[in-house]
Amino acid sequence: MAIKSKKAIIALEDGKVWEGLHFGAKGESYGEIVFNTSMAGYQEILTDPSYKGQIVAMTYPLIGNYGINSEDVESRKPFLAGFIVKECSQISSNWRSQKSLDEYLKENNIIGIEGIDTRALTKHIRLQGAMKAVISTKDLDNNSLIKKVKASEGLIGKDLVKEVTCKKLQTWNNQGKYKVVVLDCGVKFNILRELANNNCKVIFVPAKTDAKTILGLKPDGLLLSNGPGDPEGVPYVVETVKELLDKLPIFGICFGQQMLGLALGGKTYKLKFGHHGANHPVKDLKTGKIYITAQNHGFCVDINSLNKEDIEITHVNLNDNTLEGIKHKKLPVFSVQFHPEAGPGPNDAKYLFGKFVKMMKNS
């Protein structure tokens, strides 16, 4: 059993400091601090590229109890800047487990910290908002860390997509009636799996791929993927989407909705502390149904910035009434802010992949 002996510190840009014990890698790491309310699925959270540039605090108190396996990853590696838990389990009890959480973070050079009052930390973020933070195992001087984190780079206007997108065109599967090109801004593997499960042949391309190249692949549809950071930091993606709006069916997910919203003339803004978890209630305005959804985003499209003559609001968040879904009234184009592939999270919204396929079939 590992000995918990190494002190670590989290310092926030507003001067708040927490002390705990480190696990995983040693060192010092900067990022925006956010909290996630999921009770399980920490491996999927760790490997979600949308967390690039962020330090994630889990609200559920015991993390790591079922270990890590090679099958449940959502991307090629973890991209987050740090991981905060109340308690990192020393026991990995699951028949699929291949290594511990501690070992996995060490392998991927991710700093973890435990022994923190995560309820107090979460409450602080809810009240004050997401902010810059640092985790350190080497500099244990509070004043020094606060000074450094204040001087560190934030997420506003920064292009994080270029750090998580694929380097070249890749084929996910070779069979399927409908050819779908995924514009990879940090796509989760389960989105690709769900497309494949819905009779789609899936190709994913780097985020900087232009419209002409995408059309040259002769796809039946385009999926705009999830991704990290500020949507206004990737104007090249918005321009590509603008050029493709009237060319083929388009489905946007999470960051993909923000790309679509900007391409349609809307504006985005930063949420106070974002939506991160597997339990967010979303209302379908057409049917009145309530879906429990998995979400991970810090930015949102401003409902009031959209042209209602061309765009229909389809879904809203029942926690804060923010925009969760749109569709174009004339073009085969729609998007949602939540994650219908549901890994980790509920399966309520998987029907949207079938809706996308039907849209391609009818186009």
Residues annotated as catalytic (active site), given as ranges: 254, 339, 341
Residue 167's CB is within 10 A of a number of other CB atoms, namely 7
The residues facing 326 across adjacent strands are 313, 335
Residues in CB range of 36: below 8 A, 6 or more apart: 45, 56, 57, 58, 59, 276, 277, 296
Residue 332's CB is within 10 A of a number of other CB atoms, namely 19
What is the phi-psi region of residue 249: left when phi exceeds 0, alpha when psi lies from -120 to 50, beta otherwise? Answer: beta
Paired tokens of 134 = 């640092």
> Do 289 and 43 touch, CB atoms closer than 8 A?
no
Paired tokens of 347 = 């399966």
> Exposure of 307 by Cβ count < 10 A (0-12 exposed, 13-18 middle, 19+ buried)?
exposed
Rounded distance between C-alpha atoms, residue 185 and residue 115, angstroms: 34
- Tell the residue number behind the tokens 């606060």, with chain if given: 146
| Sheet of 268-284, strand order | 170-171, 200-206, 178-184, 221-224, 250-253, 333-336, 323-328, 311-317, 268-284, 290-301
Cα dihedral 41, 185, 259, 171 sign: negative
- The one-letter amino acid at 244: L
